[in-house]
Each structure stands twice: as structure tokens, then as C-alpha cells.
Amino acid sequence: MGQALAGAFLKAGHPTTVWNRTASKADRLVAEGARRARSVGDAIGAGSLTVVCLTDYPAVRELLDADGVDLDGAMLVNLTSGDSAQAREAARWAERRGARYLDGAIMAVPPAIGTAEAMILHSGAQADFEAHASALGALGTVTYLGADHGLASLYDVAGLAMMWSVLNAWLQGTALLRTAGVDAGTFAPFARQIAAGVAEWLPGYAEQIDSGSFPAEVSALETDARAMAHLIEESEAVGVNAELPRLIKAMADRAIAAGHGKEQYPVLIEEFGKPAGD
Ligand SMILES: NC(=O)c1ccc[n+]([C@@H]2O[C@H](COP(=O)([O-])OP(=O)(O)OC[C@H]3O[C@@H](n4cnc5c(N)ncnc54)[C@H](OP(=O)(O)O)[C@@H]3O)[C@@H](O)[C@H]2O)c1
């Protein structure tokens, strides 16, 4: 990912200095016009913006805490994946060392970096984002989320929750249909239509969640729960995995037991908003 990021800065015409623990991984970038830093401290001192992208936050801390690394006056943008607590802690740590700090999350694969398809999220001081938004825009479509440094990581995992849930639902449906000889390619356009239709509901459902009121405008949760039972029964009958359907129904059953059966589906936010079993 670091190579893709530096490559995008170079392609956009930004003078770019690179450093990587395994120096040879920067050879191609140097051949393309990047300057190779002699050390991490040298890299940070080389420009007005330092972008860091390593395996995880402990690696970032280990690297930047080393002797000879002076963060005073630096502008750090940390695009390493992690959780919101790590991002907030990294911000406090960097700021104690005199650096300005923006956190970031990359929701894209390396080949997309440098194109509008690459979604890159930032959180931290708005003035810092605005001062560097144009340079950071070389990496992809950049979005500022707010002053809380943890927001980029939270959006990152929220996006992953969406991605895996949609994919798992599709795999469940595909497994069911394959038992009747329907292949994945035949189901895919239908599944896509369902996913797009459900996506249309989100703004209205979000209004219900934000207002805390869940009138059953189109259907009640107890109606959904009956259909969930069919999904479990069908899965078991044809011999496909029923764990996901059972999990979905268990959450709905808890909400119904708590008196929400006549309300609409988004009332389940109350189950999602607390630890399992509470
Ligand atoms: N690849 C993706 O599709 C993707 C997508 C979104 C987000 N991300 C995030 O981007 C970050 C980097 O991912 P990647 O795919 O580039 O991973 P990677 O190929 O495993 O590269 C990890 C990088 O971190 C360096 N590193 C690790 N520990 C270090 C340490 N203690 N000191 C100095 N350098 C250290 C490695 O240096 P060496 O080269 O010397 O090993 C390498 O440059 C991760 O947080 C990942 O979650 C990646």
C-alpha cells in the first residue's frame, strides 16, 4: 500500500521522499523520481506532509518513537488500519511530541490508489485536513469526517460490517439456490437487485433510528421473524449452513420478547447497540 500511495503522489507531480524498512521495496519509486530518505527522521524532515502506512499501530509507534525521530512541527497523516481507540491514542501521542496528526482509513486496494474509486477517510482537526486536502486528493476520493480522530477507523469497520454482511447474505442465498441447480451467476443479478432495493430503504430507516420511533409503516418485526423461520427451515431441509439465519432470528426474537414485535425492523438497533446477551 505504501508503494501505491507514494506512486500516486509522484504521478500527481508532488516531490516525494520515501522510506521503507526493507529499502529495496522503494527501488521502483526511486527509479520513477522519488527521493530515498536515509532514515525515518530524514523522511519526516523532507516535506510539509508525512504519510505513514504500516501493518498496524504498534509498528507505527515503534518506528516513530525511535531515537533520531523528531516529530516537532511535523504534519502526520496515518493511513494504517486500526481501531478508534488506537487512532485517538496515536493522536494524543503525536501531539505530545509537537506534531499535528490526522488519522485516516483506506477503503480501497492498492491498484485503485490514485483514482477516484479509492475511498480514503480522514478525521482530526478540520484546519489540518483543509490545509492538506489538495495533496491528499492525489490518493483518491478523500472525505473529512470530523474532529474526533477515531471516526475514520469507526467508519472503516462500519463499512466492513456492511460489506461482509451483504456478501454473507448473498452466499447464503447462493448456497440455497445451488441445491436446486441454480448457479451463482444466475442468482447474482437477482441478488444485486435485492441489495439495491434494500439500500433504498436506508435513509427512511435512519430517520426512524435517529428519532427513536419505529412505526410499522410497511411491515412489523414479528412478520419478518416468521419469514426468518422459513429461511432457517429451508436451509436445514436442503442441508446448507443455517448459522447465519439462526443468528438473525435470535436477535429478532430478543427484540420481540422485549415488546418490539409490532414495530418496524430498524428497532433492532437496540439489540445491535449493546453487547450480546445483555
Ligand atoms: N493492501 C490492501 O489492500 C489494504 C487496503 C486497505 C488498507 N490497508 C492497510 O494498509 C496498511 C498496510 O498494508 P499493506 O497491504 O501495505 O501491508 P504489507 O504489504 O504487509 O506492508 C506493511 C508495511 O509495514 C512495514 N512495517 C511493518 N512493521 C514495521 C516495523 N515494525 N517497522 C517498520 N516498518 C514496518 C513493512 O515494512 P517491510 O517492507 O520492511 O516489511 C511494510 O512496508 C495496513 O494497515 C492495511 O490494513 C491495506
140, 28: one domain: yes
Q: Whose CA is nearest to atom 15 of ligand 1?
A: 1
142, 25: one domain: yes
pLDDT tens, position by position, 209-263: 999 999 999 999 999 999 999 999 999 999 999 999 999 999 999 999 999 999 9
Q: What percent of the chain has pLDDT over 90?
A: 98
Q: Whose CA is nearest to atom 19 of ligand 1?
A: 1
> Is 32 a member of any domain?
yes
139, 197: one domain: no
> Is 169 a member of any domain?
no
Decide: 109 in ligand 1 pocket, CB within 6 A: yes
Decide: 55 in ligand 1 pocket, CB within 6 A: yes
Q: How far is ligand 1, taken at its centre, from the CA of residue 134, in Å?
A: 24
Number of domains forming the structure of the chain: 2
Q: How far is ligand 1, taken at its centre, from the CA of residue 258, in Å?
A: 45
- Which among 1, 40, 56 is the best mutation to test ligand 1's pocket, defined by most ligand atoms within 8 Å of the CB? 1
Question: Mean of the pLDDT values across residues 202-206?
Answer: 98
124, 261: one domain: no
pLDDT tens, position by position, 147-158: 999 999 999 999
136, 240: one domain: no
Containing structural domain, residue 258: 179-272
pLDDT at 277 exceeding the cut of 90: no
Decide: 62 in ligand 1 pocket, CB within 6 A: yes
pLDDT tens, position by position, 58-69: 999 999 999 889
Q: How far is ligand 1, taken at its centre, from the CA of residue 105, in Å?
A: 13
Question: Mean of the pLDDT values across residues 82-94?
Answer: 97
Quick one: three-class SS letters along the chain? CHHHHHHHHHHCCCCCEECCCCHHHHHHHHHCCCEECCCHHHHHHCCCCEEECCCCHHHHHHHHCCCCCCCCCCEEEECCCCCHHHHHHHHHHHHHCCCEEEEEEEECCHHHCCCCCCEEEEEECHHHHHHHHHHHCCCCEEEECCCCCCHHHHHHHHHHHHHHHHHHHHHHHHHHHHCCCCCHHHHHHHHHHHHHHHHHHHHHHHHHHHHCCCCCCCCCHHHHHHHHHHHHHHHHHHCCCCHHHHHHHHHHHHHHHHHHCCCCHHHHHHHHCCCCCC
Full-prediction pTM beyond 0.85? yes
Q: How far is ligand 1, taken at its centre, from the CA of residue 162, in Å?
A: 24
pLDDT value, residue 68: 86
Q: How far is ligand 1, taken at its centre, from the CA of residue 174, in Å?
A: 34
